[in-house]
């Protein structure tokens, strides 16, 4: 059967979920191995760690960054920092392949000229979640957020621009790219608790890369 020649995710069409939000299913699959190598090289230089919320709670998701700026959280609040607070060193440079792909993916969703200078790496193990929030620590909301999902499947909660707007649940699987910008740039979003499983490349976890212009 012709269908069996293609991974399932290649068959899902590009989806405009709402104005400014585009799901590009499986767009990263072709380069999954190189992408994963790049991510592992970054994490060897700046290990994943659980950050504290400004209120003093430990986040369930482990994080790291690459790029000129990295997103950090702690008792001082949320901010972008040029250095890794754990090591005092600059964050690892953004691997050129990742920067180029993020720009291509943004363009595929209608955002030309996206030049990310920050990539937050989130690692979820079963049970980890990310509560509903807006990405609003960046300077220029005309630039989109580009998210790549790797490893175990996630259920992405997509709300509106008011915290109590209704949410839709979007399944995101390995290789999927989600872009949100324009009228959806400040949409509330989050990740439901990760379900246990094993992924052939990443094992028992999900890693997301979120590219930003910080
Ligand atoms: C985030 O909103 O920073 C992360 C979303 C995700 O992990 O897909
Ligand atoms: Fe976010």
pLDDT at 23: 97
Q: Is 62 in the pocket of ligand 1 (CB under 6 A)?
A: no
Q: Give the closest ligand to the alpha carbon of residue 63.
A: 1
Virtual torsion, Cα 95, 141, 51, 58, nearest 10 deg: -140
* Cα–Cα dist 163/188, whole Å: 6
Percent of the chain predicted with pLDDT > 70 = 95
Return the number of other C-beta atoms located less than 10 Å from residue 209's C-beta. Answer: 25
Q: Convert the pLDDT of each residue in 19-67 to its tens digit.
A: 999 999 999 999 999 999 999 999 999 999 999 999 999 999 999 999 9
CA of 186 to the centre of ligand 2 (A): 9
Q: Convert the pLDDT of each residue in 128-149 to its tens digit.
A: 999 999 999 999 999 999 999 9
Please name each of the domains of the chain with its CATH number: 2-212 (2.60.120.590)
Mean pLDDT value of segment 194-205: 98
Contacts of 107 (CB under 8 A, 6+ apart): 113, 114
């Amino acid at each position: 059967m012709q269908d069996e020649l293609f991974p399932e995710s290649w068959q899902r069409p590009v989806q405009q979920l709402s104005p400014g939000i585009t799901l590009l299913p499986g767009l990263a699959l072709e380069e999954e191995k190189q992408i994963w190598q790049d991510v592992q090289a970054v994490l060897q230089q700046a290990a994943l760690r659980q950050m504290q919320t400004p209120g003093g709670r430990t986040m369930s998701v482990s994080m790291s960054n690459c790029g000129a700026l990295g997103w950090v959280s702690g008792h001082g609040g949320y901010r972008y920092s040029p250095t890794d607070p754990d090591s005092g060193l600059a964050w690892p440079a953004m691997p050129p392949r990742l920067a180029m792909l993020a720009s291509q993916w943004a363009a595929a969703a209608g955002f030309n000229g996206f030049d990310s200078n920050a990539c937050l790496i989130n690692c979820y193990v079963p049970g980890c979640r990310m509560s509903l929030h807006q990405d609003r620590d960046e300077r220029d909301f005309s630039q989109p957020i580009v998210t790549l999902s790797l490893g175990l499947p996630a259920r992405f909660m997509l709300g509106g621009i008011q915290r109590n707007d209704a949410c839709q649940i979007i399944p995101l699987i390995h290789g999927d790219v989600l872009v949100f910008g324009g009228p959806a740039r400040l949409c509330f979003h989050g990740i439901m608790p990760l379900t246990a499983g094993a992924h052939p490349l990443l094992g028992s976890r999900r890693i997301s890369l979120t590219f930003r212009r910080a």
